Each structure stands twice: as C-alpha cells, then as structure tokens.
Amino acid sequence: MPGKDVVVGKKKKAGEASVRPKEKIPASIRSVLEPYFPNGDMDEKVLICTETDMNDKLEFTLGYLVLCKERILVLVSEPVPGEVHFFKGRETLASKAQTVRREWTVKEYSLTDMKEMKIERTVGGGFLMLVHKNPDDEEADGKAEVIASFSNHRIGQTTRVERLCEKIVENEEIEEDEDEKEEEFCPICGMMYPDEDRKICPRCMNKKSILFRTLGYLKPYRGRIALLMLCIFVYSGLNIIWPYLNGKVLYDKVLAKDDAFIESFGIPGGKYVLALGILVLTMLGTKILMQMFGIFQGVITAKIVPDLVRTLKTDVFSSMGKLSISFFTSKQTGSLMTRVMSDADEVTGFFIDGLPYFLVNIFTIVSMAVVMFMLNPVLAVAALVFMPIAFLISWKMLPRLWHRYGRRHRATRSLNSKVNDNLQGARVVKAFGQEESEVGRFDKSNEKVRSADMAVLNYDNKFSALYSMAENFASLTVYVIGAFLILKAHTISLGVLITFTGYVSQLTGPMDFMSFFFRWYTNCMNSAQRMFEIIDAIPEIQEKPDALKLDHIDGTVEMKNVTFGYEKHKPVLKNVSLTVKSGEMLGIVGRSGAGKTTIVNLISRLYDPQEGQVLLDGHDVRDLSFETLRGYVAMVSQETYMFMGTVAENIAYARKDATREEIIRAAVLASAHDFICRMPDGYDTMIGSSGRELSGGERQRISIARAILANPKILILDEATAAVDTETEQAIQQSINLLIKGRTTISIAHRLSTLRDANTLVVIDEGKVAEQGTHEELIAKKGVYYKLKELQTKALALKGIE
Amino acid sequence: MGFKQFEGADEEFNLEQMEAETEQMLRLRYINKDNAVFARTAGGFVSLDLNESIAPEHYDRIRVVRSFPFTDRDKYISIRTIDEKSKEIGMIKDLSTDVTPETRQMLEEQMDIRYFTPVIKKINSIKDEYGHAYFDVETDQGPCKFVIYMNSSSVVNLSDVRLLISDLDGNRFEIPDYTKLSARELKMLDLFL
C-alpha cells in the first residue's frame, strides 16, 4: 500500500505521551484463547485483536474480536455487576490494567465461506455482521448473522477488523496492521486523551502555563503596565489614608485640640481653626489626588487594551487561515470560532481590569488589617471577623448567580436568534400567513428571557441583602464594641472608632472583588485556552518543509487507489483510481452523495486521502508546495462566494496584480461584462454581504471570471451551472468552453449534456468507480451511464423539450 | 435481496418500469397485520413477506426505523430495505393497533438495538475541565463515565424536561426528566440547562 504510512507516520511523531504498551493479545485473555491454538501458534496466527464493549443482550461488558485468516473468535465476558463502563476520554491506564476475574464465552466462526464482514451502524454504536456465501444455494447465499455488538466507542477498532476481512475476501496480501493507532494516555493522570490527534489532557493542562503565556502578550506594554500598577497602588494607598484623616486625625487630634500633634506639623498650638483648615485642605488634596490617579489609570488602560485586543485577534485570525478546511466544518470548532473574538476581549479585560486589582486588593486588605491592628487589636478582630463570613457567602453564592446570568445570556441569545430567524425568513412567514404564530413563538422565548431575568434579579437581591447584612453586622459589632471601649473601658477615642467604621466599609469592596475574582480567573483561562487551541492547532493539511515548487506543470492528474472518509470510519471513496491527461477533460457523473465533490476536494488538497495517492504530474500532492498547488489548480463550484468589495476586486481575488484590462477581458470571457456595465457603478459596484445583491447566474459568472483570471493549469468545475436557468446555463457553458481550452479540466455535472465534450467519463456509485470510458463506450456498455442518459433524454423528450 | 438497482448491464432500459418505481417511491404504503407477515430469522434479524395484490414481496431482512424517535416512539414506524439506499417498503401507522403483539415485540427488539440509549438514573459528578465536561453517572446499563465537549450541541433539550447527552464518540445518554433529579444533581447539571 503506497502512501499509507505517510499519514499515520506524521501523526505519531508528536507523541511524548504514554502509549499503552503495545501487545497484540492482552495477557488477560491468553489463557482463554490457548485451547483454540493447540499448536501454540497464537501470536503468529492472530492478525488482530480488538475490543468490543457490549454483549448480544446490549449490556455493557468487555469483549474481544480475535481475527485469524480462516476464522474469527468472538469473546464476550459475563457482565460484572456494578462495573464502571468507561467511554472515550475516560479510560485510564489504571482502569485498563484492572484485572477483574471474568467469565468468558468464546464463539468461533469460520471465515472460509465469508462473503463479507460488515459493520451495520445504529444510532449509538453498531454490530458486526458476518455474511456467508453459498454459490450452490441461492437461499443460503448472503445469509447474515450478528457476531458482535459495540458502542460508538469501539467502532474505530471494529472497522479495522472489517477492513482486514475485506482483504481476506479479496485474497489480498495481509500485512501487519500498520494503521493501528494506539490509544494514548495523559502521562500525568493516566487518562485517555479526548482527541488522540491533539495530545492535550484537559484535566492536567497546565493552567499556570496558560496564565504565563497570556502574560507574555503583555510584555510589549511593560512600561505602561508598571505605570498602571503605580497609579493603582497610589490610589489604594490614599484610600487607606483617607479614613485615617477622616477619623483619627480629625476627631482625636484636631477636634480634640491635641497641641503636640498640631505643633508637630509646624502649626502654632491653639490655632485649631487653622489646623482644621489645613486638614480639610489635605483631605481635599487626597481626594483630588485619588481622582487624578484614577483618571491616569483609565487613560493608560484605554491605551493598552485596544492594542492588546487587536494583537490577540490578529494572532487568532492568522492562525485560523492556516487551518485545514476540516477544522472549519467540524462542529465543535465551529462554535469555537464564533466565540474566539469575544474571548480576546475577555482575556484582555481580565489582565487589565482583573489582575492589577487583585494585587491591589490583596495589598489593601493586608495594609488595612495592619493599620487596624496597630490602632486597636480588639476592634480589628471585631471588624475582620465578619469578613471571612462575607467572603464565604459570596464564594458560595456567586457561582449560582453566575449560572443565572448564564441562563439569562442564553435566553437572550435564543431570543435574538429567533428574531433574526424571523427577519431572514420574512418571505416564508408572509407567504404562509404565519405572522400570528410567529408572534406566539417569539412570546415563548420572550417569556423565557423574562423568567431568567427575574431569576437573576431575585438572586441578585438575595445576594446583596445577605452580603450587606454581613457588612452591617461587621459595622454594628464595631460600633457596639467601639462604644463599649470608649464609654466603659476608655481605651479608645471616638476618632479611632470612626476610622474603623471607615475601614470596615472600605473592606467590603476588596472582599467582594476577591470572591468574584476566582470565577473571573477560571473564565478568563477558559477563554485564553480556546484562543490558544486555535493558535496552536496543527493543520491536518500541512506543507512539507521541503515542499516541491514547480515552475511549470503539464497538468496530468491521477488518483491511485484512494480511500477517504470525512469521518475516519465512514469511507466516502473506496479504492478510487482515475487519470486525466494533460489538457483533457474528465467528466464525473453520479448520484448526489456518491462522492463526486469529495474527489475534487482531494485533488485540490482540501483533505488528504487516508489511503492511496493523488498525483499531479506524477508528484504526490502532499509533496508539492501550496503555492504550486493553489497556483495551478482553480475551482468553480456551485457555491459562489462573493467577498465584501467591488466587482473588480472579486474578479481579481486570486490575482491582486491584474490590470484593469485583464479584469475586463476575463469578465467578457465569462459573459459577465454586460451585466456589470449595466449596473450604475460598473466594476466599482460594491458586492458581498453589505453590497448589492447579485442573482445566482451573475455570481456564477463572476466566479468564472475569477477562475479565468487566475489562469489555472487544472480547472475543477463542480456543478458550476447547477444553480442557474437553462438560458443562463447556455451562456455560461460557452464561457466555460472558452475557459477549458488548453487546460486539464475535471467537471462534475448532473446534466449529462454539460459533459458532452469530456474525453473520459467516470461514473461514481457508492464511493467506487462504477464505470469509466468515453461517452460512446459507456453507451455501448448499457450500464449505469446509459441508464442515466436514457432517463434524462427520455424524461426531457416526454415533456417535449428535446 | 435488494441489491439490484444498478445491474443494468444486461437489462434493457425500461422507462415504464422506472416510472412505476418512481410512483412507488411517492406513495405512502401502510403495512399492517392484514398485508404483512414478519418473522424472526436465524441471524437475529426480521424478515418480511408482503402480500401485495399485484405481486407478493419478500425481504430476507428489514430495517425498522422510527419516524419520530423522540416524540412518538410507537407510531409511523418505517420499514426499510437494508442496503445503503435504505428504501422504504412501507409504514406501520401504529404499533399498538396495526400489528400483532408478537410482531410488535419483534420490531421493538430491532428498534431497541438501533436506538440503544442508556438512561441516566443518577449523576455522581460532572466536572468542567477546559472545554470538556467529565461525567460520572449511574445508568440503567450500569455506571458509566464519559466525556462531552462543552460549548456545542452535546446536550440537547428534547422537551422542557428531557435531555439527550452525546459523548465524544456520539454515544447517547438520556435524562427523561431532569426536574426529578436531586438539587445536588441539578446544580451540577445547571451548566447545561
């Protein structure tokens, strides 16, 4: 199998993780199997041994498939009551190594009359079916029996058995199964990676490293951040001084007419009004300073944040561009993308607003506590004792509040999407007269938002009530004890008490912040992690470091024994081989879903085949540089995407340096020139999401002009005229005929008439090449193509069209 | 067996036959105890003999599919061929009235295989770890531990109270009524509600 090792080899390289020790046959079942290998040749005979996880009663239990060339042994264990069943990502090295005594049932099936071994998939798994052949007895031929059941967790392993059986049936040479991909486990916690291609253990991922990595983005702003911190520290320092001035100094020194104190500031004793005036000025000055530093801080933040957000977003976006197309189509990353942009804000917000304040708050709490203890330890304890309680309350309550916020957010989002849905579907709503019921649907969502809102408010109120109660308790205790100390014990003065109450009220802020901070921290780390996931994602389609750059290509395209599936275990193409000679046209026909588009996706290397090779001028496309590949291959597909910009920019999308004349020439060849000139703004007309709406045919013509201008050696036409009316199709067909001259063309079409000029036609059926040949050959063959052709012409003839 | 769609090599093209096929495709054919006999096969499957007025049809093996797997489990059961095209042979309008109890049992066994979904009885823990949620639950199929992706359609509301949870591999788990869970369990699940 040429090329087979390429894909697998590449992925295996990266692993520094613990790989489960490779043993073909697990030790735990060797003794069970021994009687079936009386010659002691178990290791030589067994081709593959894979796990299953269900018995025929659909109970979860461990089982094995042991495949030999002429027979398959199916082991199923008796379910162990209470045994935990592990699914993907949950298995650990420890759970794997577990040795429970099991009762095994072994069934042996001969494969000598195997017609086929087939997996039939169900919703949550599948079963393995052995189909027998019996050429002598038509009744018995094709009889199938179920030999094993498994959940989706084991479908990958079972697919390997299916594939090997296919080779046994075809009598192909069977080599050691090199495709075998070991399950890999996190070296720290021993748990299986959720995604074997990305060796990241979500549980053990170094959260610190994310923090420091994110901090790395702040490096260019070191100076400003130092300044920012300074501002914040000065601000909070002044914040500590304020209650002191306001309480102790005002009441105990100035109002208490403390001459010694006043004189220590160089004010003559007895001049209390002057002292008061100076104190008031100092207090005023403190407040003004605080405000000033507050403003400074705001200005510096405003300078850093947008810059940082931009850097982060650019980083994410440029990494996104490098990713393979499969990344964009896979579901879980799809939602990832949309979140990324808001993630950048989240991360920046945390680092600019969260982290500095965290340090400041720690500083504030500690220094206030120190000052308080210095003033009066008893009162300090009274003031601080409620703080942990307040902290605990917020710590306990905040997550729930958070959840409620989350629910409100989701409800609002769903309401928004409902509105959006309605606006987009306005035509349908009106056509079916469903305005009333749409109002009803809207109301339902609206009601959800209302109730979520109420939940937030209710909880918020409870939260604030409890929180302020704790605060009030603290102040009350301080007042009571303080009053007692003043009146009875005479150990403190009024000023101290007022200073203390000032501190108590100022402490609640930092405490509140701290309880909120940890949640914020995890949220931010989550956002950062999602961003890094994209920044770090290794594209499945990668350019080789020493990729070939070709100055000239002839344009011969060849597919050799290609097998490919978007999901690993569901092949869309099975062993497809085809060749297009330079300058010739290949037509691909087949029912929708047969795998036609997949073929062109592989040729333009949007995906790599799992088996086999795609060759361009005899070079594996995986060896070619992207520049060569994308420069020589262009595609016109059904999906005509117009980017935001002018018509001219859209035509020159692939060749930014095209002159105006070239653009017009391309438009003329694509029969787009006329309609472009009819538009008031001509080639400067803005199109794309915010611009003028073009019809399907117009868009198609612009995309053809785009391809003409790109001047590719290899042209791929994927249902290029499927979305337009017959008249437009005729016009476009003419443009295409001009376009394909001198190029290797691969054209997919439903309408066989479009492929009249094809040198070779390939009929794809169920992922395989069903027929191949010229139009005449295929007609003479009276096969699938003939049938399709007849169907199309007769159907048209019936309607009197042709 | 129904593998004859594209064996046209020696078969003359027949427009009438094709049109008849198309017509058949557009027709909703109901199956009931009067026109159909289902039987168990040795391989653990179900066969079908259909006594159509024009010509009797026999299928060695059939596939049983629910039209409304979530909202109407016993009605509009589609009986289909087992090949990749999976054409509809006919439809059973109501399992409780249109077929014999034995047939119903037989078909339900087939559907139990197809729609196998453990039901979560108890949630021991759910841990949210960087984009994944680690579940530890008790199901009617015994204790299970699985992982789902966060921020995606891993948890779907089938109704106001019913949840369907899909793990990394697409294994499904169901919570028929989450309001019946304890406050502690609900709190863990709250992230997904």
Whole-angstrom Cα Rg for chain B: 22
> In 3D, which of A295, A294, A50 has the Cα closest to residue A155?
A50
Q: What separation in angstroms does the CA of A277 have from each of A248, A255, A271, A272, A274? A: 16, 12, 10, 8, 5
SS (H, E, C) A394-454: HHHHHHHHHHHHHHHHHHHHHHHHHHHHHHHCHHHHHHCCCHHHHHHHHHHHHHHHHHHHH
Give dist(CA A332, CA A215) in Å, integer: 27
CB contact under 8 A, B131 and A794: no
* A571 close contact with B: CB closer than 8 A: no
Burial of A108 (0-12, 13-18, 19+ CB in 10 A): exposed
Instruction: Confirm if A161 and A147 have CB atoms less than 8 A apart.
Output: no
Neighbours of A643 (CB within 10 A): 11
**Chain B CA closest to residue A330:** B152
Q: What is the tens place of the pLDDT at every residue in B118-143?
A: 999 999 999 877 667 889 999 998 99
Instruction: Identify all chain A residues contacting B134, using CB atoms and an 8 Å cutoff.
Output: 89-90, 203
Instruction: Confirm if A415 and A446 have CB atoms less than 8 A apart.
Output: yes
* A529 close contact with B: CB closer than 8 A: yes
* B113 close contact with A: CB closer than 8 A: yes
Residues 48-107 of B with CB under 8 A from A: 60-61, 69, 82, 84
- Residue type at A80 in one-letter notation: V
Instruction: Confirm if A248 and A495 have CB atoms less than 8 A apart.
Output: yes
B147 CB contacts (<8 Å, ≥6 apart)?
A: A87, A88, A89, A90, A194, B132, B133, B134, B135, B167, B168
Burial of A430 (0-12, 13-18, 19+ CB in 10 A): exposed
* A189 close contact with B: CB closer than 8 A: no
Would you state the structure tokens that stand for residue A400, as one six-digit string? 């729930």
Chain B: closest CA distance from residue A422 (Å) = 21
Give dist(CA A212, CA A174) in Å, integer: 50
* A88 close contact with B: CB closer than 8 A: yes
- Which residues of chain A have a pLDDT value below 50? 1-21, 331-332, 801-802
Give the DSSP letter string of A245-305.
Answer: IIIIIIIIIITTT-HHHHHHTTPPTT-HHHHHHHHHHHHHHHHHHHHHHHHHHHHHHHHHH
Closest Cβ opposite residue B84 in set A145, A205, A766? A766
Instruction: Confirm if B111 and B74 have CB atoms less than 8 A apart.
Output: no
Q: Are strands A768-773 and A760-765 parallel, antiparallel or unpaired?
A: antiparallel
Chain B: closest CA distance from residue A339 (Å) = 9
Q: What angle do CA A689, A682, A656 make, to 5 degrees?
A: 70
Kindly report the average pLDDT of chain B as a whole number. 82
pLDDT for the residue numbered A176: 57
Give dist(CA A102, CA A62) in Å, integer: 9
Instruction: Confirm if A214 and A347 have CB atoms less than 8 A apart.
Output: yes
Q: What separation in angstroms does the CA of B106 have from each of A471, B36, B40? A: 68, 14, 7
Check whether B44 has a pLDDT greater than 60.
Answer: yes
Cα(first)–Cα(last) distance of chain B, in Å?
Answer: 47
Would you state the structure tokens that stand for residue A430, as one six-digit string? 């009106």
CB contact under 8 A, B143 and A143: no
Would you state the structure tokens that stand for residue A782, as one six-digit string? 């009276």
Chain A: closest CA distance from residue B138 (Å) = 9
pLDDT for the residue numbered A720: 76
pLDDT for the residue numbered A799: 55
Would you state the structure tokens that stand for residue B75, as one six-digit string? 């009605």
A522 CB contacts (<8 Å, ≥6 apart)?
A: none
Q: Is A229 helix (H, G, I), strand (E, B) or coil?
A: helix
pLDDT for the residue numbered A392: 79
pLDDT higher for B19 or A369? A369
Q: Is A352 helix (H, G, I), strand (E, B) or coil?
A: helix
Long-range pairs for A430-433: beta carbons < 8 A, 24 or more residues apart: none
pLDDT for the residue numbered A726: 75
Cα(first)–Cα(last) distance of chain A, in Å?
Answer: 48
User: What pTM does this model have?
Assistant: 0.68
Please list the helix, strand and coil fractions of chain A in percent, rounded to the nearest 5, in that order.
Answer: 55, 15, 30
- Mean pLDDT to the nearest integer, B96-103: 91
Q: Look at chain A and count its residues.
A: 802
Instruction: Identify all chain A residues contacting B146, using CB atoms and an 8 Å cutoff.
Output: 86-90
Chain A: closest CA distance from residue B142 (Å) = 6
A731 CB contacts (<8 Å, ≥6 apart)?
A: A671, A701
Alpha helices in B44-91 (DSSP H): none
pLDDT for the residue numbered A330: 58
Q: What separation in angstroms does the CA of A440 have from each of A444, A445, B98, B158, B159? A: 6, 9, 37, 20, 18
Place of tokens 């790109």: A710
* B140 close contact with A: CB closer than 8 A: no
Q: What is the tens place of the pLDDT at every residue in A399-437?
A: 677 777 777 877 887 788 788 778 878 888 888 888 888
Give dist(CA A372, CA A381) in Å, integer: 9
* B169 close contact with A: CB closer than 8 A: yes
